[in-house]
Amino acid sequence: MDGTSENPISRSPLRLILDRTAVLLLGTVVGAAIGWAFQASPGASAGAASVPLPVVSGLAQTPSAGEASMMRQYAGPFGQLEKTVAAGGRVRIGVFGDSFGDGVWWGMAHQLPSKAGFDVVKFSQPATGFTRYKSLNLETHAAEQLGTAPLDIAIISFGANDAQGIITPEGKYAKFMGPLWQQEVGGRIDRYVALMRSHHAMVYWVGLPRMGKDSLDSDVTAINTFYAERVTKLGVPFIDTRPIASDAHGQFAAYLDDPKSGKRTLIRAPDGIHMSMTGYLWITHGLADRIRNYTGAARAVAGGATPAAAATAS
């Protein structure tokens, strides 16, 4: 599978019902996720709108029907997930990324626990990125990590280490964000997503929040924009974390008001790059809800309970 060709889709009753259920359910889930996200930072919607990424799809931007269409095209209505829930297995979610990806994994693992039928696997590794292939080729590494094991959902989050030029395989220097850089790094992203889809996984990309230092924030904004445009063209939902983790003016915020208690809450790490543990929960909350409900729809149609529930019943 090359990541761009359309998979043949069996029109079985199960697939048809799954597809329709996904469209209806995702509309509700997306609405709830949007509401939660903007409650997390009062006024953030207006501030974030003043500094939008040119092309971004995600919780607030992609219609549910559009996302379901993407999944039909690239992995079938539910891809590997359909087979997993039909067999009563745990939903295997792989999280790929750098040290920021480590935090995304932590947030997802705490919200999608084993007892609910999920297996959130950390494939992320600090100090890696699409511009650091001399130290670690992400494509080769991910292929080795995955092997032949099934993968239901892939969550990808890279970028904080990619604000630098690269040397291409042909030995040419490509300056950061120059045409040659975009060509080479873009190709790496394309192949990385194709690798996930070769396992028939649903793929999501989590973008980076505002950075504490202006110079890094400028570079990360450019990276977010480029990565968002690239993966959107591949049909991958890009989750823009900035509206959730920014202040009322769309700028970096170390503290925000907790949406439940109203208390001032630390959401960023001291380095101004990473999130606090609470912050990682905040930026992954909507995606965790989406996956939980998407999986629930698949299980309901397949007539299967979660592995934990099935074990309790027996």
| pLDDT score of 300 | 84
| Domain architecture of the chain: domains with CATH | 13-313 (3.40.50.1110)
211 vs 268: CA distance, rounded Å: 10
Amino acid at 133: Y
pLDDT tens per residue across all 314 residues of the chain: 333 333 333 334 444 434 443 333 333 333 333 233 323 333 333 233 333 343 344 443 333 454 555 555 555 555 789 889 989 999 999 999 999 999 999 999 999 999 999 999 999 999 999 999 999 999 999 999 999 999 999 999 999 999 999 999 999 999 999 999 999 999 999 999 999 999 999 999 999 999 999 999 999 999 999 999 999 999 999 999 999 999 999 999 999 998 888 899 999 999 999 999 999 999 999 999 999 988 988 888 777 667 765 555 44
Tokens of 214: 């202006």
